[in-house]
């Protein structure tokens, strides 16, 4: 269990920038100002805004992430969202540069420890476990031997474990005594995580990338060349993790942008086909 396992299961950003929780109060105030608030509202407040109000793109993203964090990624028993991540939601442009995997992992561990401590102290049989329960459940199921039932090995696992699949297969692990754990646990070498030989779901790793190439290249490249670039990227990145793919996308798009801008500045044309570059009229006359 580590931050990488969160990436494998959820496919959320795992970039270099650590989410700062030390300036929690300042982050909270900066976030509340964006909504014209002085106190933290309930989670329902942000859900209602998503469903019922017209907002800017940035506000939609903030409201969505508050709901996602407080109900799925980093939930607690509180009806209000935590102020620990509010500061991270102020600058929407930086959201993808943050290490959300580490944040979710640390949150999970913190609440597991809290759960264990409180349960021993109070001797209670019913308590709320904070953190991403879905992540824990999927990791457990991926290490469970279901015999002849073959589970696809695509990453992130959220593309596989969806619908009623978690419940149906979890029910298979319940023994006659009503407790979980009646099936055999697999070694790592027997799971989808072995040796990094898994494939990432194309809808996640390649999401909108074909369209992005077309938007950046415009008419400077032929449709065939743009498709060849996309297929080359897809082939080279098929066994890489999501973070590496994001970096590769950025590098490739920047390279295309530099080339097309240089062609425009020099007066070159621009239509590059699969067999070469088509020259503009002045170049053709010189030749």
* Percentage of the residues of the chain whose pLDDT score is greater than 90: 50
Alpha carbon distance 85, 106 (integer Å): 12
pLDDT at 13: 92
Q: Is the pLDDT of residue 149 over 80?
A: yes
Q: Is the pLDDT of residue 144 over 60?
A: yes
Q: Is the pLDDT of residue 267 over 70?
A: no
Considering only residues 124 and 145, tell me which one the structure prediction assigns the higher pLDDT. Answer: 145
Burial class (CB in 10 A: 0-12, 13-18, 19+), 75: buried
Alpha carbon distance 135, 197 (integer Å): 21
The pLDDT tens digits for 46-65 are 999 999 999 999 999 999 99
Q: Is the pLDDT of residue 200 over 90?
A: no
pLDDT at 231: 87
Count of other CB atoms within 10 angstroms of residue 250: 10
Find residue 269's DSSP bridge partners.
none
Burial 138-176 (b: 16+ CB within 10 A, else e): bbebbbbeeeeeebeebbbbbebbeeeebeebeeebeee
Alpha carbon distance 63, 251 (integer Å): 30
Angle at 156 between CA 215 and CA 186, to 5 degrees: 160
Taking residues 95-117, what's their average pLDDT?
94
Considering only residues 36 and 280, tell me which one the structure prediction assigns the higher pLDDT. Answer: 36
Taking residues 131-135, what's their average pLDDT?
96
pLDDT at 124: 64
pLDDT at 18: 96
pLDDT at 275: 39
- Single pTM value for the model: 0.70
pLDDT at 277: 39
The pLDDT tens digits for 64-82 are 999 999 999 999 999 999 9
């Amino acid at each position: 269990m580590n931050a990488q396992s969160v990436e494998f299961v959820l496919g959320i950003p795992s970039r270099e920038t650590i989410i700062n929780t030390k300036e929690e109060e300042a982050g909270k105030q900066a976030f509340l100002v964006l909504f014209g608030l002085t106190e933290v509202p309930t989670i329902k407040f942000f859900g209602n805004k998503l469903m019922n109000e017209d907002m800017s793109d940035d506000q939609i993203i903030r409201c969505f992430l508050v709901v996602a964090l407080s109900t799925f990624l980093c939930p607690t028993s509180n009806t209000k969202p935590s102020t620990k991540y509010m500061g991270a939601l102020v600058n929407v442009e930086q959201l993808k540069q943050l290490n959300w995997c580490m944040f979710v992992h640390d949150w999970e561990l913190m609440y597991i420890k809290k759960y264990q401590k409180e349960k021993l102290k109070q001797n209670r049989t019913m308590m709320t476990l904070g953190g991403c329960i879905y992540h824990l459940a999927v990791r457990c199921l991926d290490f469970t031997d279901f015999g002849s039932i073959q589970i696809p090995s695509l990453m992130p696992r959220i593309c596989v474990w969806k619908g009623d699949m978690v419940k149906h297969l979890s029910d298979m692990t319940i023994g006659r005594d009503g407790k979980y754990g009646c099936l055999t646990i697999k070694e790592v070498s027997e799971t989808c995580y072995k040796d990094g030989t898994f494939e990432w779901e194309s809808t996640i790793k390649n999401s909108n990338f074909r369209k992005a190439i077309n938007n950046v290249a415009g008419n400077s490249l032929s449709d065939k060349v743009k498709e060849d670039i996309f297929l080359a990227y897809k082939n080279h990145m098929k066994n890489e993790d999501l973070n590496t793919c994001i970096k590769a996308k950025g590098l490739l798009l920047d390279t295309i942008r530099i080339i097309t801008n240089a062609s425009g500045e020099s007066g070159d044309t621009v239509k590059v086909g699969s067999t070469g570059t088509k020259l503009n009229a002045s170049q053709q006359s010189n030749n």
